[in-house]
Each structure stands twice: as C-alpha cells, then as structure tokens.
Amino acid sequence: MKPLAVATVAFLLAAGSVVSSVQARPIQGSIDFGGVVTFDSTSLANATRVNTWNSSFVLQDSGDFSSIAAGTNVAMAAPWIFNPSTNTPSLWSVGGFKFDLTSCVIVSQSSTFLNITGLGTISPIGTGTGLDPTPGTWSFTASDSSGSPQATFGFQTQTAAVPEPTTLALLGAGLFSLVATRKRRTKI
C-alpha cells in the first residue's frame, strides 16, 4: 500500500472510532408556546421585563419535542428581564427539556407589539437521554391592543443546525486527501 493510502485508512479508522464512541446526538426540532403574560408596564413600548407568565402552554412541536402534547403547561422563569438582555437559566422547561437563555435582541417594540429574538442552549433534563445540549434560536412576540398590563404571547424555539460527528469526520477525510494530493502533485 502506498504511504498516502495507509495514512488515509489510518485517519478514517481513527475518526470512525471517535465517532462510534460518541453516543449522544444533538436535539432536533422545534416547539412553540402561547399564553398570557404580565409586563412591568401597561404599554409594551416601555416594557423591560416579563413579571409573570400567567399561562404558558405548548401549541405545537416537531422532532425530539414531538412527544410533548399540545396544551401541556410550560414552566417559565420569572421575572424575565429582556432590556437589558439578561442570561436566564431555565427560561422554559417542559417535557424533559429546558432552555437556558444566553442573549436576546429587541427587533421591534411599540405600544401594541413586541418582538424579541435570541440565542440559548436547549438541554435534556436528566441523564441517559442520548441527547446533547444543543444551540437553539428563539423568537418571542407579544401583542396587546387594550393597553392593559396583560398581553398574549407566542414563543418559538428551534435547534440550530449542528454538523453530526460523522459528517465532520468525512469532511476531515476529504480535506486530508485534498492536501495530500496537492503535496504529491507539487513533488512530481
């Protein structure tokens, strides 16, 4: 066997043993909540935090969240301070999952509408789930046309695309082969 072929086979065997030793996988899917909240202001234009989540329940879900029934109550952290952006461990938890908020940005804020987006980590609660903590994106919207301190809200969370270990191993093997081929051609 040529040295390049031996090195490639050795690399693939090493990558395969690393990949096979990894048992957990990233969480996949999305989950949406709805309900009613009370802010720290009667006008959404001046709101800086959610004081109380009066009701929070699952509207729809997909992927790894699909075992959570619509209508299931969601535990939400209160208060949730969004201006300024504040890290909030366990912003929500439901059905064996939790979401740790790391940052948020106010996209739009008026007296009747609020839209906030952000980043965080979705994690399984407990051990032995076969799932790894996974980066996630989310969006929170609230609307209120009556000027009262309570507003309806929608909250959508989805996992971010994360390459799987086997994909990374194949990309590494391809890159290794490309570099080796170029080196061989420059020597000829």
Q: Tokens at residue 137, please?
A: 């994106």
The DSSP call for residue 68 is S
Kindly list the distances between the CA atom of residue 113 and the CA atoms of 81, 117, 145, in Å, as whole numbers in the listed order: 17, 14, 8
Residue pair 15/164 in contact by the 8 Å Cβ criterion:
no
Tokens of 50: 């959610």
Domain ranges of the chain: 44-139
- Asked whether the CA dihedral 9, 14, 20, 26 is positive or negative, the reply is negative
pLDDT at 134: 94
The reported pLDDT for the residue numbered 98 is: 96
Q: What is the pLDDT of residue 12?
A: 43
Q: In this predicted structure, what is the pLDDT of residue 116?
A: 94
Q: Please tell me the pTM assigned to this model.
A: 0.71
The pair of structure tokens assigned to 119 is 């980043």
pLDDT tens string for the chain (188 positions)? 444 444 444 444 444 444 444 578 999 999 999 998 889 988 889 999 999 998 899 999 999 999 999 999 999 999 999 999 999 999 999 999 999 999 999 999 998 899 999 999 999 998 888 999 999 999 999 987 565 656 778 878 888 754 444 444 544 555 445 445 555 556 66
Beta bridge partners of 80: 50
Q: Which residues of 90-108 are buried (b: 16+ CB within 10 A; e: fewer)?
A: ebbbbbebbbbbbebebee
Helix, strand or coil for residue 84? coil
Radius of gyration of the chain (CA): 23
Q: Is 5 exposed, middle or buried (0-12, 13-18, 19+ CB in 10 A)?
A: exposed
Distance CA 68, CA 33 (A): 12
Would you state the pLDDT for residue 22?
A: 53
CA–CA dist 109, 22 (Å, integer): 44
- Identify whether the C-beta of residue 106 lies closer than 8 Å to the C-beta of residue 116: yes
In which element (H, E) is residue 69 found? Answer: none
